[in-house]
Structure 1
Amino acid sequence: MRSYDEALSYLFGLERFGMVFGLQNVEFLLDRLGNPHEKIRAIHVGGTNGKGSVTAFLSSMLQASGLKVGMYTSPHLLSFRERIRVDGEMIREEEVLELTRLLKERVEGDRGRVFTFFDFTTALAFEYFWRKRVDVAVVEVGLGGRLDSTNVLTPIVTVITNVDYDHMDVLGKEITSIAREKAGIIKRGVPVVTGADGEALEVIEGIARALGSEAFVLGRDFSYRRLADRTFDYYGVGRTIEGVEIGLEGDHQIFNASLALCTLELLERAGFSASEERLREGLRRTRWEGRLETMRERPLVIADGAHNMGGIRSLLRYLSRFEGRRKVLVFGVLRDKEYEAMLKELKESFDLIVLTRPKAERAVEPSLLVGVAPEKSIVEEDLGSALRRALREAKDEDVVVITGSLYTVGEAKALMDERS
């Protein structure tokens, strides 16, 4: 293995093993590295929607407070290197090569184990954070929680953003079973911050109580009041901050920012300190690509990685501000999503729907979706053709929305970058 491209080929080649849930294999990998995850302080962020945004808010606030901050997220949009960052800087290509080669050499003799792509990249991230001597790492759960590779951590604070229907083939079809999987990241005595409600909240609080972990619930223990777009008052566990401004679009991001602020309050109990000025600065500077991201002004092109019903509802709430303007949808989605329900929810808000597919093995054939909205749908087999068609059909005052999957958004960003 001599190049970054060869390292990526090796890592992505592990995807042939699919998803192997359980912690034994990632624990084996980490043991071969000297268990770096036990040497770093971390915040563990799970949930159905918003966990990436909460991770971004937390990382930005902690960095603004003068700390060296690791951030681990998935999936990436354009580059594998996006997944592993320190102080906002992506891991370098030569570091990916070095760490991949190291770990491959450490496990080559053990042919009885199957290591997945996510096992390997999670182990690489923790080793990288340890080598960089980060003050704190903010780690996003990949899928579910209880059996996710990141769940080897014992964090300072756990966050479960919310619980909604997603990945039901793996996590279960009932909201309570999904909540149990999400709550599997709660550790004994470690406080948990959540925006969950209803039956899901009951499950989370029950597991937290059993583990002696205090639960801080949005709407009960802390809250917010929206003032305007991207502006709100925060009423926390121990502090109130008025007129908070955030760098991300959408009212759901105020929800996410409130979760991040409560998490920071709990970190202060663990010895971290952050002034109100620095918290404000961090929230204001937060950027998170592919989430209500404006990619072009005329026509207005918005890309959003909504990939389940909760994400679609948040997207539609945001789009209500463009009432009266003609809208064109570019929609590409993966097979393991509720794609018919998602498209049914979207179709009434759009005048034209361009159905397509991203370059992903699990992508749904667009022809299978035409029946959901036959009167306003057209099919383009690849995303490049879909974007060209949407932009051709849209006038300068129209709105083009690209959604359905982060894979769709990432590929669209690359194509739009090429055009510019």
Structure 2
Amino acid sequence: MPCPSLRSTGPSSHPVYSPARPLPCMHELQGPYHLDPFTPMRQGERLDQMSERDWLDERLSMGVKLGLDNCREILSRMGDPHLEFPSIHVAGTNGKGSLCVKLSAASSSSGNITGLFTSPHLVTVEERIRIDGRPVSPVLFDDLLEMVRQASEESPAISPTYFETTFLVAMLAFSISGVDRAIIETGMGGRLDATRLVDADLCMLTTISMDHSEFLGPTLEEIATEKAAIHRPGIKMIALQQTDPGVIGVIEEIGGEDLLWWPYIQASSNKWESYDPLVEAVSEFLGWKPRDTECVWPGRSPNFGEDWAEGVTTRLSAAHNAESLESDLNEIEVPTVVLFGMSKKADLRKSLDPFMAEISMDHIFPKVVFTEPISGRNPAVTVEELSEIMEDYGIGYVPSKVEKDPLKAFEIAGSMARELDADLLVIGSVYLVGDLLKYMVERDELNLWEVLTAH
């Protein structure tokens, strides 16, 4: 079918304001990053000794806390940096990070200085905040983190969560760097996600499926309501065509005349490539003229890390819920050894349904290795628990190997794949991918900052 087009009704207007506390220019901040914004760190400094990082890490214990009031107040204290640039705001259950990085590449290629905010990170927190595809430097991150901390400690003191803190740092980074536009991925939901505060001139919805139901609600309709609430009256919202009638009804009610449906992307298709026509349409809608939209989404996009295991074609997947696991497993067409590890979640067994079904009935997966991610907000599902869940399914299938250490597990799975002349799939958690990425950077003596560059 022909590629649908989107027609812009003209540029949106953005508020003009007098900040309560004007942000400093780049040269007014301490540090050498005004000469090179991507210098990894100041000479002689160690990131693990920075008190601001300790303060940030303390935020992890706060967990998830949805709501806009805290970030709205802290942003106000810092002069509302989030209102200095237009943003594309993207929500959805799966695929929103891939869509965001493709939009960022198209915007940058069109000559716009483009900020990109995504989460979670694979290896280092700076990668959540990119400018023209490159993570901001630890030097810049630390100085802006200090500003966020100072603003939050003004009376009355406010305690932002880890995610909220990184979002606030991103808004400062984009403002100080003079971005022309930002691409913003929601953290969770949309209606009460801190990113809802950005000044969006376009909103986008990817897939809607069950995930984080303990926070967003136990039904698809409730989850759709939370995510579709990124819509702003009078601002166009592009939504991937959904299949559930209840979800469709919710999105149409919220989006109203501003809603534009985009043809459904089959769950079994290559989502990475299938977003290209949508990005082309958005580029036309916003008047972009991208010269080159080639980009890499570290740890997620096809071909990234394919040579990590010697003599074995390796694929990395951050799929961690039922929809994304089913989609990525369905893409496998050749015999593949699976390395699987997950972080704990409320709907763990429901998320595992498609995985258990596929590996037990499809001979394309000759061997499976269970492991445990090291990093992440939540603890890993133990290999014992994964094995018990598999046994509970009553399918008479057991993993080929269990190994708690993901680095050892990767070597074991790679050896199995070589013996079978099979491919290797790493799947189940973005944190598992991050653990292996850090290992590969150290093993092969790679430049981490170059590896983490998206475009």
TM-score grouping bracket, smaller chain normalisation:
0.7 to 0.9
> What is the TM-score with the length of structure 2 in the denominator?
0.78
**Pair 1:344-2:329 in alignment:** no
Q: Distance in 2 between matches of 1:313 and 1:20?
A: 29
2:265–2:271 CA contact under 8 A, matched in 1:
no
SS at match of 2:238: strand
Aligned match of 1:235: none
Q: Distance in 2 between matches of 1:19 and 1:196?
A: 29
Q: Distance in 2 between matches of 1:21 and 1:33?
A: 21
2:424 to 389, 400, 403: 400
SS at match of 2:254: helix
Aligned match of 1:80: 125
2:115–2:131 CA contact under 8 A, matched in 1:
yes
CA deviations over 1:29-68 (Å, ceiling 9, x no partner): 1111101111211110111111001101111111111111
2:240–2:265 CA contact under 8 A, matched in 1:
no
Q: Given residue 407 of structure 1, which amino acid in structure 2 is its aligned partner? A: Y
Aligned match of 2:13: none
2:270 to 244, 251, 255: 251
Q: Given residue 62 of structure 1, which amino acid in structure 2 is its aligned partner? A: S
Q: Distance in 2 between matches of 1:176 and 1:97?
A: 40
Structure 1 residues 201, 376: closer, same or farther in 2, change over 3 A? same
Aligned match of 1:201: 248
Q: Distance in 1 between matches of 2:76 and 2:214?
A: 31
1:81–1:90 CA contact under 8 A, matched in 2:
yes
1:209-224 aligned at under 5 Å gives the runs 209=256, 213-219=257-263
Aligned match of 1:390: 413
Q: Distance in 2 between matches of 1:72 and 1:352?
A: 37
2:372–2:432 CA contact under 8 A, matched in 1:
yes
1:107-186 aligned at under 5 Å gives the runs 107-110=152-155, 112-186=157-231
Structure 2, unmatched stretches of 5+, are 1-44, 392-396, 445-455
Aligned match of 1:236: none
SS at match of 1:188: coil
Q: Once superposed, which parts of structure 1, at least 4 consecutive aligned residues long, lie more than 4 Å away? A: none
Aligned match of 2:341: 332
> What is the TM-score with the length of structure 1 in the denominator?
0.84
CA deviations over 1:306-338 (Å, ceiling 9, x no partner): 111221122123212x1xx3x211111121144
Q: Distance in 2 between matches of 1:132 and 1:252?
A: 31
- Percent identity for Structure 1 against Structure 2: 28
1:196-345 aligned at under 5 Å gives the runs 196-197=241-242, 198=244, 199-209=246-256, 213-219=257-263, 251-267=270-286, 273-275=287-289, 278=290, 281-282=292-293, 285-291=294-300, 292=302, 293-296=304-307, 298-320=311-333, 322=334, 325=335, 327-336=336-345, 337=348, 338-345=350-357
Q: Distance in 2 between matches of 1:258 and 1:206?
A: 26
Q: Distance in 2 between matches of 1:394 and 1:196?
A: 38
Shift of 1:376: 3.5
CA deviations over 1:241-270 (Å, ceiling 9, x no partner): xxxxxxxx9622233223323332332xxx
Q: Distance in 2 between matches of 1:114 and 1:108?
A: 8
Shift of 1:71: 0.5
Q: Distance in 2 between matches of 1:64 and 1:308?
A: 33
Aligned match of 2:77: 32
Q: Distance in 1 between matches of 2:380 and 2:356?
A: 18
Shift of 1:196: 3.6
SS at match of 1:9: helix
Aligned match of 2:233: 188
Q: Given residue 406 of structure 1, which amino acid in structure 2 is its aligned partner? A: V
CA deviations over 1:171-194 (Å, ceiling 9, x no partner): 112111110010111111110011
Shift of 1:345: 3.6
Q: Given residue 259 of structure 1, which amino acid in structure 2 is its aligned partner? A: L
Q: Distance in 1 between matches of 2:59 and 2:404?
A: 28
SS at match of 2:332: helix
Q: Distance in 1 between matches of 2:206 and 2:65?
A: 24
Q: Distance in 2 between matches of 1:51 and 1:174?
A: 20
